Structures are given as C-alpha cells and as structure tokens.
A = this chain, B = another copy of it.
Amino acid sequence: MSENVVQRLRDEIENGIISNDFAPGARLDEVQLATRFGVSRTPVREALMQLNAIGLVEIRPRRGAVVIDPGPHRIFEMFEVMAELEGLAGSLAARRFTDADRTTILAAHADCERSSSAGNSDAYYYDNERFHKAIYAASHSGFLAEQCVALHRRLQPYRRLQLRVRNRVATSFAEHGAIVEAILAGDAEQARTLLRQHVSIQGERFSDLVATLASR
C-alpha cells in the first residue's frame, strides 16, 4: 500500500487532470471519486484541498470542485514565467555544473538525439523532460528546481501538443545542442538567452498553440 491514501488520491486526480482525463471545467464529485477509488469522502476532500492550493482545481463554496480551465492567455503567461525560470536555471548551471552534471546532461542529450532522429515524438517527450531536469539539477538550487518541476508538470499537456507541430522535434533538438554548448562552455548569459527562447512560445508558436487548443 502507498504511504497514505490522500497522497495517492492527490497524484491520481492530478494525473487525471494533466492527462486530460478530467477535462478543464469538469466537476469533481466527491462521492463519485470516493467510490471510484474505494475510499470515503474524507481523504478525497483533503486531496481536492491540496489541488486547490496548488491551483489545479477551484473550490466554490457549497458548490463543489471543478478543474480549472486556464485560457490560452493564461497558458501563455505560464510559459512566459517558465521561460524565465528555465533561463535562470541555465545560467546557474553554466556557472556551477560538476562533472557528474555534465555526464547527466550529455546522456540526456544523446537520448534526445536518438528519439529525435527516430522521429518518435512520444519518446522525445520523455527524453526532453529528462534533459531539462538535468539542467535544473545542475543549477544546484533546490528551490528553483522544485519550482521548475512543478510548472513543467502543469504545462505538460500543452508542451506535448506543441511537439506534435511539424518539425518541432527537430527544431527543439537543434536548440538543445546550442544550449548544451553554452552551458558546458560556462557561458551563463548565452545559456540563459537560449533557454528562454527555447521555452517561450512567441509569435507563430503561440498561434499554433491556440489553434491546437481550439481544435480539441
């Protein structure tokens, strides 16, 4: 059994939201969730409270919990912040990376190359995630890494949509190459700039996102 039921429920519901199993705007009925997971309402409520605090669900008094629907504009704002934090992580990584960090980054980068050239966008998604986490770790800022992972997770569904856009995987991998180069060269400002551009969704990429969102 898991550590405790609440934690498990929290993860299950969170995954359900992220994997679009619970669509934005959907009502999260307490008894329904309780029976579905074979527990009572109490732990369900506590899990929902946590998701509320994180900002994934909204709890309207006496009217239940619903999955928050961040519109395109807010998603853009979230990517904007994410780009900034990733830029910071990159600049810190360029200054602080150890031999172990270099190994991890290069290994993740190599895996990205494999899945990219294989044209496997799902595999690339996971390797890409490892690549970015390697940079967070190399920043040697625990708090920053946590913030980045949390935001990364929240943006997961939209990130995934983006990779479906034609040529995005190849472009992404090419950007990774330049980023690795800048970090390992210890060029903090270059790493920051490249990562910021890599993550932010300016211009066409934003239009693509909106279009993809609308077609769901």
**What is the interface of chain A, defined by CB distance below 8 A to chain B?**
3-4, 6, 42, 45-47, 49-55, 61, 74, 77-78, 80-81, 84-85, 87-88, 141-144, 146-147
* 5 nearest CB pairs, A to B: A53-B53, A77-B143, A50-B53, A77-B141, A84-B88
Q: Is the CB of A61 within 8 A of B4?
A: yes
**Known A42-B42, A85-B81; contact A6-B143, beta-carbon cutoff 8 A:** no
Question: Shortest beta-carbon distance, A34 to chain B, in Å?
Answer: 15
Q: Which residues of B contact A46 (CB under 8 A)?
A: 45-46, 49
Task: Name the residue of chain B whose CB is nearest to the CB of A91.
Answer: B84
Cβ contact within 8 Å between A142 and B74: yes
Contacts of A80 in B (CB 8 A): 88, 141, 143-144
A84 to B88, CA, bound (A): 7
Contacts A49-B46, A49-B50, A61-B3 given; indicate if A81 touches B74 (C-beta within 8 A): no
B84 and A143 contact, CB distance less than 8 A = no
Chain B residue with the shortest CB-CB distance to A55: B146
Q: How far is the CB of A110 from chain B (nearest CB, A)?
A: 30
Contact A81 B49 (CB under 8 A): no
Q: In whole angstroms, what is the CA distance A88 to B83 when docked?
A: 10
- Contact A144 to B49, CB < 8 A, known contacts A3-B61, A42-B42, A61-B4: no
